[in-house]
Amino acid sequence: MGIEPQNVITKDNVEIEVDGILWANPGLDVEDIKKTFYNIDNWKKAVVQLAQTNLRQEFGKISLDESLVARETIAANLKHSLDKLTENWGLKVSKVEIKLIDPPNDIKVAMHKEKSAEQERRAMKTLAMGRFEAAEQEKLAELQRAEGEKAAAIMIAEGKAQAIKLVNEAADKYFTGNAKDLKVLEATESSLKDNTKVVLTEKGIKPSIILGDIPFQLKNEKGKE
């Protein structure tokens, strides 16, 4: 049986239009049949009118926002109430459904604007979060790249230091005399490359003489010092 559309007032004083449908039937045992026959003349009309009255009461307990999301709860409460109220008529209400919940046009417009604003806010929040996460990822990538470059530079420096250490150790171990002679030759070459005057001794040219440490003096052919 259909519950015709009717206007109801919510708890927050908003008038909305609602309707529904219910399933009911007389009980099958003897006592229920007697109740339906003797206690009510037109049980179908009576149960629909009772449903309309209780529908107004159910919506009067909740706000508009609650009613828009509590369709199943309202139907369950209404079914329970009707089943109790029709017990004296020998009836069984098995199911109730709420089909229409229709707020006034101005409420619809306001709800639409609110929904649009909320969707826009969520979209902006999502976009901002996306940008933030991208920036964080870029920052992390830069840090990782810098750490990689730093690690590579350290490895190169350590490699060079190790190579120098190995060369020095090899020179100290295997080329001590040669390295010393090489230093003598380098000092001699540095002194001679700019036509520097040198002193010859009976032992030849030595860096010690070039640097000023002359062990003795020589006389020229005229006997001058």
pTM of the predicted structure, to 2 decimals? 0.48
- CB atoms under 10 Å from CB of 89, counted, come to 21
Give the model's pLDDT for residue 170: 65
β partners of residue 24: 93
**Cβ 111 vs Cβ 102: under 8 Å:** no
Please, which residues bridge with residue 2 across strands? 21
Q: Which residues, listed in sequence order, are joined to residue 9 by a DSSP beta bridge? A: 15
Give the chain's end-to-end CA distance (angstroms, integer): 145
In the DSSP assignment, the letter for residue 204 is B
What pLDDT sits at residue 193?
A: 61
* Res 222: pLDDT: 46
pLDDT in tens, the chain (225 residues): 999 999 999 998 888 999 999 999 999 889 999 999 999 889 999 999 999 999 999 999 999 888 888 889 999 999 999 999 999 999 999 999 999 888 888 777 776 777 667 777 777 888 788 888 888 888 888 888 888 888 888 888 777 777 777 766 666 666 555 555 666 566 666 655 655 555 555 655 554 444 444 444 444 444 444
